[in-house]
Amino acid sequence: MNATKILCTLGPATDPPGIVEALARAGMDGARINFSHGGKDAQAPRVQAVREAEQALGRPLAVLADLQGPKIRIGRFPDGPVTLREGETITIVPGDGPCDQTHLTVDYPDLATGAEPGRDIYLADGFLHLRIEKVEGDQVTAVVLRGGPLSDRKGVNLPGTDLKLPTLTDRDLRDASDAVDLGCDFIALSFVRKADDIVALRDHLQKSGAAIPLIAKLERPEALDNLDAILEAADGVMVARGDLGVEVGMHKVPGLQKHILARAQAAGKTAIVATQMLESMTTNPLPTRAEVSDVANAIVDGADVVMLSGETAAGQFPVETVTMMQTISREARDLTCPTVELETHDHDQVAAAVVGGVMAMIDKIAPVAVAAFTQSGFTARLLAKRRPPVPVAALAPVEAVRRRCALYYGCIPLAIPDARGADEMMKLTDKMMLAHDLARPGERVLIVAGLPAGGSGTTNLIKVHKVQAP
């Protein structure tokens, strides 16, 4: 099983029968379903395919539902994709009408508000660059500075413009509820600006009794200013390098990635790095050397999860791409990764101290594994952020928790019955360590748990345990 986890976006390329299972066999730990490209009806078969692959492999797989957020998109081209050429003039208006070579519609009614001559417009993740020449009523006229192919529903970025859009849209609220109905394990909120955006989504979910970990996608400059508060409110963050690079300048992304990952590690929160990690494998069977280095450096910087987007959703070589990602991540595990102390709050100081003790004991007595009994996944997540050099078996009686742990660095989620006392924990540890080849009789493991057993948030115990033969 992977130490750094691999998250694959599902799409048309993964819809044929057997492909999702093949991705899992190649090393996929979780699947991303993108609500920007289809709602509940489109995503339900993909979630079902993940659950079938889970059964076939006998290990949990996470499903992350990615909400669209206030993404501005152009309309559709009834006559097929076009190519914008440098020097051409384009008119852009709000609405949902058809697009063509010289006329684009966008689903943002306030396009002209704040639009000024000289401001930039980027299309399709920044590949196309337009500059505004004039604004008349609700019509914006722009000249193409960098052209290229353009097709239906590509994204629009307006750097420096104060967008009059809520972070959490009505569609997001509907899609979040649908994600709960589909049994998703994480929900990612796009274009987060502040901690209140995460709080609002969590409150919406809690009204229906749902408690799903929330991932804040960092794509806007405002999010960087509010990073620590967002980390406290969210369960994890995604360095969404596509829109982030357009908004702040792609030359700033490497430094920001390092900063975000370091802060997430200190906060004990899951960190995902996404966008163009192995982009060339969308159409080629091998990546570039630069892409290989990019993936490895993200892991060294502290990524818990590396994500594939179009490479698996629409690429020609989805399985080969996952195999390559796994090969890179295994090699990168031996490279130096920064270790930081967890910055704790009152409610988790004991758990963080226990995790610190585990790391010190690993260094002193060299156990072969850690057995972490967890009801919520919290203990496993804290251990993951400290990058233990030995496997962490996340022993969880709850299926949803095991699926979450599938995306925690170095964690091997294993199903157990509820353990009701220390003696039962020892017996379960022996059974699981031996059954999954994590230890042999006589080898030492560290047991991390909470007593009294059965509660969430009670991590308070470390035990050095010699594995016993049955």
Of the candidates 25, 40, 73, 330, the residue annotated as catalytic is: 73
Of the candidates 5, 32, 71, 333, the residue annotated as catalytic is: 32
> Is 217 marked active-site?
yes
The answer to whether residues 85 and 147 touch, using CB atoms and an 8 Å cutoff, is yes
Q: What gap in Å lies between CA 388 and CA 333, rounded to an integer? A: 11
Copy the structure tokens of residue 116: 């000024």
SS3 of residue 136 by DSSP? strand
> Is 466 marked active-site?
no
> Is 51 marked active-site?
no
Q: What gap in Å lies between CA 393 and CA 385, rounded to an integer? A: 15
Copy the structure tokens of residue 403: 């699926």
Q: What angle do CA 157, 159, 163 make, to 5 degrees?
A: 75
* Residue 250, φ and ψ in degrees, nearest 5: -65, -25
Q: Pairing mode, if any, of strands 155-157 and 369-373?
A: unpaired
Of the candidates 193, 217, 263, 269, the residue annotated as catalytic is: 217
> Is 427 marked active-site?
no
Annotate 279-323 with DSSP letters as a single string. GGGGTSSS--HHHHHHHHHHHHHT-SEEEESHHHHT-S-HHHHHH
Q: Pairing mode, if any, of strands 139-146 and 148-150?
A: unpaired
> What is the helix (H) or strand (E) element at residue 170, kind and residue range?
helix 170-182
Place of tokens 């969210």: 234
The answer to whether residues 309 and 281 touch, using CB atoms and an 8 Å cutoff, is no
**CA–CA distance from 268 to each of 195, 211, 348, 377 (Å)?**
16, 19, 10, 12
Of the candidates 4, 14, 275, 429, the residue annotated as catalytic is: 275
Residues with catalytic roles: 32, 73, 217, 275
